[in-house]
A and B are shown apart, each in its own frame.
Chain A
Amino acid sequence: MTSAHPPSAASAPAGPAPPPVPVADERLANISTAARLLRRPEIGALLAAIVVAIFFWTQNSLFFKLDGIANWTDVASTIGIPAVVVALLMIGGEFDLSAGVMTGSAGLMLGVLATEVGMSIWLAIVLTLAAATTVGFINGYMVMRTKLPSFIVTLATFFILQGVNLGVTKAITNQVTVSGIDTAAGYESANSIFGGSFWSPHDFRLSVLWWIAVTAIATWVLARTRVGNWIFGVGGDANAARNVGVPVMRVKIGLFMTTSFVCALTGIMVALRLASTQAGQGVGEEFQYIIAAVVGGCVLTGGFGSAIGAALGATIIGMAFIGIQFSGWNTDWRFLFLGVILLVAVLVNTYIRKRAEGARR
């Protein structure tokens, strides 16, 4: 591949061609293990998670009893599953504001298909996931074709889905809820995979296992597969990636589809567990996913971040939501907490990254 045939005498004019003596760059010499560690995107989230965990533990020792852990991992997992794929999308340089409402849309569609249409739960799940993936494709295709910011395109999708959720649900059920999903055929088996719990009497949610699985798969994809390399590439510099032959459009549309798919899966888990879905379900949660991803080290401009970081970000949010409850405070404070943790995370991450990269771009 690199067979360098020597240039003929006629074609080798006088010119500066010194032998390639390796130039040891003195600025590279001192890469300590600490600097290497600091370069990891998720390091800030890990430290923050430890601080938050210790704080709530001192408030209420139940926090780290198995029952307590089952409580906050439950919350963390339903935020964490979508947050991990939202992180992938953000690393790929795009946003999906319709991610939150998509969980609601999926739950409602599942409910309507199972109760009003009378389908088996399994068929309803398959159709719901297919519909969600289609919405993801439309999101991605519109973003790529129009070259509009995904922020705007998916904001439109967000409101369209919200409108459909309310309108269709009311038109069909005359209520703002679809309930009775547990009466449909196949509910038990589906619930035992998506909605149920394990390890009684602590009752850890199955969604926790899904969360761990999604995080592991996403981490594997990012770190070790070609697609993962392409995701970093299209997010870091789409033109450079295109120039070296990365199929930018396919990668980005694929990310949008994956995001919608996984968000729908989360919506299905919630719907099965509760056996019902509210028409307003999921609205506003897209920001929690984004916060988790950003706390986990994702850069808003793309090209940098980690799936484990997003999972840690979700862990922090889950611990805070339940920790505030355990501590006996008014749960409204959780929003203030979210805002503060987001701000601190962005500041700390920016600082760490500048330090680790020598502040040069």
Chain B
Amino acid sequence: MSATTNGAPLLEVRGVSKYFGNVVALKDISVSVGAGEVTCVLGDNGAGKSTFIKILSGVHRHDEGDLLVEGEETHFGSPREAKERGIATVFQDLATVPLMSIWRNFFLGSEPTKGSGPLKRIDVKTAQGIMRDELRKMGIDVRDPDQPVGTLSGGERQAVAIARAVYFGAKVLILDEPTSALGVKQSGVVLRYVAQARDRGLGVIFITHNPHHAYPVGDRFVILNRGRLLGDWRKREISRDELVKQMSGGAELDALEHELQRVLDTPVS
């Protein structure tokens, strides 16, 4: 396992469970991501991916298990706290404001300023320059910083969100279905951004329902099914075909039946 200076993964959950009333949303999930590593969390609709993201990003609190940031046990009280610990979440549709320009989007909420008192103002030149540099690092050449983000392609919009998270000090990047709304070519572009973020030393948790998107960039693969961990493989332990097979049923159907029965039989706390 790739490790940070103190030997622990950047972000790790151990045996985490989450209940909504008498619904078991997540049960006994253990996942980790280290620096320069991509952990793919796969699962179909209703597998618990969204709940999982929300626990990692501080929107929900987990009911059981441990959440560790660089080896230290943590409870996030709010998304802001998670962000302060270097965990940035890029939500698929909620990442950017379409009508705002690229640089305004990039710095929304964290605008650099100059001057003081009533003359305190956004340092537009600096902001535009930084935005341009950061996007160039991701391989995007922005000609017109005033261009509205809505005119960018879906992949480029994700890139802006990713570049922003990286610039503002994220150590772990959680990407929520970044490719699900995109075409084949655009998905490839986003996967390249994921690889770039990884190569810059970030830990990436890549949530997707598409094993074909996960396999090329992933180092570890975790499959969620109905709130439970169906499997956890390192890349060398599983082939693309096996991953696809695991995702789409096959062996797990029997287990599923068992599980369902158990869920129905167990009285829920």
Contacts and interface: CB of A to CB of B under 8 A. Distances in A.
Interface of A: 1-2, 4-8, 10-13, 15-18, 20-25, 28-29, 31, 36, 39, 220, 224-226, 228-230, 232-233, 236-237, 239-241, 243-246, 299, 303-304, 357-358, 360-361
Contacts of A225: 120-122
Contacts of A31: 143-144, 147
A36 B147 CA distance: 9
Nearest to A225: B121
B111 interface: yes
Contacts of B148: 39, 357
Contacts of B144: 28, 31, 36
Contacts, number: 156
Interface in B184-243: 191-192, 195-196, 198-202, 216-219, 235
Given A23-B140, A39-B146, A1 B99 contact: no
A242 to B, nearest CB: 8
B166 A2 contact: yes
Given A5-B201, A6-B201, A20 B99 contact: no
B245 interface: no
A233 B199 contact: no
Interface residues of B, number: 62
A240 B158 CA distance: 13
A360 B151 contact: yes
Given A11-B37, A15-B195, A299-B99, A233 B108 contact: yes
Interface centre among A243, A245, A357, by most B CB within 10 Å?
A243
Contacts of A8: 2, 35-36
Given A24-B141, A229-B111, 13 more contacts: A2-B167, A4-B199, A6-B36, A8-B2, A11-B2, A22-B141, A236-B97, A236-B100, A239-B94, A240-B108, A244-B108, A357-B150, A361-B150
A130 to B, nearest CB: 22
Given A225-B120, A237-B94, A241-B97, A23 B108 contact: no
Contacts of B146: 36, 39
A10 B2 contact: yes
B14 interface: no
A7 B143 contact: no
B15 interface: no
A236 B201 CA distance: 33
B150 A360 contact: yes
The 9 closest A-B pairs by CB, nearest first: A7-B36, A11-B2, A236-B97, A4-B200, A22-B141, A20-B139, A244-B109, A245-B109, A17-B195
Contacts of B109: 230, 233, 241, 244-246
A232 B99 contact: yes
A245 B110 contact: yes
A202 to B, nearest CB: 32
Given A20-B139, A22-B136, A7 B199 contact: yes
A6 to B, nearest CB: 7
Contacts of B111: 226, 229
B108 A1 contact: no
A16 to B, nearest CB: 6
B121 A13 contact: no
A240 B139 contact: no
Contacts of B76: none
Contacts of A240: 94-97, 108
Nearest to B217: A15
Interface string B234-267: 0100000000000000000000000000000000
A90 B122 CA distance: 22
A248 B124 CA distance: 22
